[in-house]
Each structure stands twice: as C-alpha cells, then as structure tokens.
Amino acid sequence: MHASVAAVQFQPRKGEIEANLDRIGEIFADLAREDPPDLIVFPEASTTGYFLEGAVHELARSAQEYADALQRRWKAATGGAREVDVVLGFYERDAGTIYNAVLYATLGGAAPRLRHVHRKLFLPTYGVFDEGRFVARGRRIGVFETTVFPSAMLICEDVWHSICPTIAAVKGAQVVIVPSASPGRGIAGPEIETVQRWRSLLRNAAGEHGIYVVYAGLVGFEGGKGFTGTSMVVAPDGRIVVEGQPFEECVVRARLDSDAIDVARAGLPFLGDLDSVLPDLLLDEELPLPRGGRVTR
C-alpha cells in the first residue's frame, strides 16, 4: 500500500477563525491542482493560533463544526471530485469542557466523515507555557482506521513522553501524526535547541517502533515567541524523508509505503519484542498502576 502526505507549515491569524479557514481553503486549492495528496496535516491550533489564554473559551468550537467547515472548503476548491483525509489542530468545546484537540476527517463525499478526535494529554505549564490553566487534558490514545494506514494522533508535548508513541504502536498504529505549536528555545550551535530535540524525538519514535511519523509545525510569532515549524516526515527506519525550513510557511510532501514498515520491523523487531514483554512489565508491583480492578476514567 502507498499513500501520499502533505504536512503544512501554517501561520494562522490569531483569533480569526474564518480567515484561517479561508486560508486553509486556498491551500486545498493549491494542493489539488497537481497530484493531490491522500492526507493533508495541519499543525496544532491552526484555526486560532496557540497562545489564546482566556480567549480560548470564546474561540473553541466542536469537532463536527470544523469538519463541516473543512468539507465546504474542500468541495469549493475541488468540486468534490475526490476524497482526501485532513488532520486539523483546534481548540475543542465538548459538553462545556475545552480541550486542545486535533481531528481526523475524510472530506469530499456526501458528508464529512469524522474518524477520530485526539485531546492533548500533556499540557505544559513551564517556561512560556500555561496551557493547563485554560484547557482540560485528554485521557487516552486512540488508534483508528483510515483510508491511508492505521493511525494515531499525538499533540506536541505528548511526543516528549516516549510512552505515548509506544502505546500508539502497541495498539496497532503504523502512522503517528503529530501536529505541533513549538516555540523556539535555546541555541545549540548553528541551530535552535528545540529543533534538534524534535528531530531526535521523532526519529527515535519512528525507528524504535517501525512507524511513519508525520510532524506538522506551526510558524509565525505570538507575543514575541516564534514557532519553529520544521515540519517533517520520518520513515520507519528513523530516516528523515523530508523536512521544512524553520520559521516560514511551506508544504512538505512525502510518500508512505507499507513495505517500508514491514522491512523496518523485520530488521529490528523491537515492537514484537515489546508485545511479548509488556504484560510482565505491567504486572510489576512497583509500578503506580491500579490493582484488582479496571482503571476509572
């Protein structure tokens, strides 16, 4: 199986939802003109910008509202002649609770198909971040079927905790999609330290589990903080297939190949080994896990 993916380095206008959705519609039209991709991935908080603080409550929308808005713009851009899968980062309102979320929808049919919503698990509250004050955290990592590959989504800091891509892979994900809004911090030689750290994290996640990792980074400045972008696609052997330039809007494109997943997992069967050992690890009495019953949510 093969699939093409486009990761969009996007600079939203802060708080201007309709303007950002219209810009996404223009990107749809550009991508559809020649060799349209099977999957388009936008960054974290693409519809509003990231640093909203208290304004997040008035700007949050439901996942279905955004799926419908994306459907209208895809059909306007393409006439609905073909379907496409789209990942979009947004602030979600659900039953009165606000989340930093990302949706996966298939567009172009009679109605959009909302396949999955992931809510950010790890909400940073250090340095320039204060996310935990304004949104609730998610509670699970879901793996879901798509028209491309079995996939999971993680948002930004979720990937800085290596257990998250491990759980996604153990549950069957062959592609892990990572929308992000990462401000640049620190200097490491000629590069920003966070760019180097992201490269290492994503390569390790892909190479250890034999998965593709698709990373889409926000760009632009909010309150003097610059988002680095550096969107990339990492192959199952840990090799970076393509990477965008930092701090500027662009689209990076790559082709995903199921044979590459099989080859990587045969050469380094870490995931199969983990499947065998994981039950013993989880029975370790020194782990802070619930005993004698189901986990409550």
Per-residue pLDDT reduced to its tens digit, 254-272: 999 999 999 999 999 999 9
Q: Number of structural domains, the chain?
A: 1
- For residue 171, what are the contacts with CB-CB under 8 A and spacing of at least 6? 141, 142, 143, 152
Counting beta carbons within 10 angstroms of the beta carbon of residue 54, is it exposed (0 to 12), middle (13 to 18) or buried (19 or more)? exposed
Between CA 151 and CA 146 the distance in angstroms is 7
For 44-64, what is the mean pLDDT? 95
Counting beta carbons within 10 angstroms of the beta carbon of residue 5, is it exposed (0 to 12), middle (13 to 18) or buried (19 or more)? buried
The answer to whether residue 284 is domain-embedded is no
| Structural domain containing residue 114 | 2-268
For 84-92, what is the mean pLDDT? 98
The answer to whether residue 236 is domain-embedded is yes
The answer to whether residue 276 is domain-embedded is no
CATH number at residue 188: 3.60.110.10
Between CA 138 and CA 1 the distance in angstroms is 32
The answer to whether residue 257 is domain-embedded is yes
Planar angle of CA 277, 170, 180, nearest 5 degrees? 135
The answer to whether residue 210 is domain-embedded is yes
For 206-212, what is the mean pLDDT? 97
The answer to whether residue 201 is domain-embedded is yes
Instruction: Tell me the pLDDT band of 205, cut-offs 50, 70 and 90.
Output: very high
Rounded to a whole number of angstroms, the CA Rg of the chain reads 19
The proportion of the chain whose per-residue pLDDT surpasses 90, expressed as a percent, equals: 79
Instruction: Tell me the pLDDT band of 285, cut-offs 50, 70 and 90.
Output: confident
Residue of 215, 210, 211 lying closest to 198 (CA atoms): 215
Between CA 297 and CA 291 the distance in angstroms is 15
Counting beta carbons within 10 angstroms of the beta carbon of residue 110, is it exposed (0 to 12), middle (13 to 18) or buried (19 or more)? exposed
For 58-75, what is the mean pLDDT? 97
Instruction: Say what the pLDDT of residue 18 is.
Output: 98
Instruction: Tell me the pLDDT band of 188, cut-offs 50, 70 and 90.
Output: low
Instruction: Give the lowest-confidence range in 64-78, 91-105, 158-172, 218-232.
Output: 218-232
Instruction: Say what the pLDDT of residue 213 is.
Output: 98
Instruction: Give the lowest-confidence range in 32-36, 77-81, 201-205.
Output: 77-81
Instruction: Tell me the pLDDT band of 235, cut-offs 50, 70 and 90.
Output: very high
Model confidence at 52: pLDDT above 70: yes
Asked if residues 57 and 98 have their Cβ atoms less than 8 Å apart, the reply is yes
Instruction: Tell me the pLDDT band of 94, cut-offs 50, 70 and 90.
Output: very high
Report how many helices (DSSP H) and strands (DSSP E) the chain contains, helices first.
Answer: 7, 16
The answer to whether residue 264 is domain-embedded is yes
| pTM of the entire predicted model | 0.94
For 180-196, what is the mean pLDDT? 80
Q: Is the dihedral of CA 284, 288, 290, 296 positive or negative?
A: negative
Between CA 107 and CA 68 the distance in angstroms is 9
Instruction: Tell me the pLDDT band of 297, cut-offs 50, 70 and 90.
Output: very low
The answer to whether residue 295 is domain-embedded is no
